[in-house]
Amino acid sequence: DAGITQSPRHKVTETGTPVTLRCHQTENHRYMYWYRQDPGHGLRLIHYSYGVKDTDKGEVSDGYSVSRSKTEDFLLTLESATSSQTSVYFCAISEWKGQAYNEQFFGPGTRLTVL
């Protein structure tokens, strides 16, 4: 299994509070991603990173920010959590090889509930 962990695994918080989710990898992969998964929507990309301090927005980035100061860590921050951000959050890693991205390896997920 790819060495990728997420913390915390479960979190319940209140509307308006800041929340930070952490993704940690031991594979030295260049690319890291944050997705959210909601019923009927599949996996939607929030932000991704293509190197240390290099990040870009995905399709549902409003209300989220990210940081990557080290290759192994990718942080997702909800500045002021809202109930619409209740979801399961997955981190993924991948590497570029030749013609296309290699497969993405997903972390175990974080279940976030915003009350």
113 scored as a contact of other proteins (CB under 8 A): no
45 scored as a contact of other proteins (CB under 8 A): yes
Q: How far apart are CA 58 and CA 53, in angstroms?
A: 16
Task: Please report, as residue ranges, which positions from 57 to 96 form the binding site for other proteins (by CB under 8 A).
Answer: 58-59, 90, 96
Tell me the C-alpha to C-alpha distance, in Å, between residue 71 and each of 30, 54, 94, 99.
Answer: 7, 10, 12, 23
42 scored as a contact of other proteins (CB under 8 A): yes
Q: How far apart are CA 85 and CA 108, in angstroms?
A: 18
Residues in the site for other proteins, rule: CB under 8 A?
Answer: 33, 35, 40-45, 48, 58-59, 90, 96, 99-109
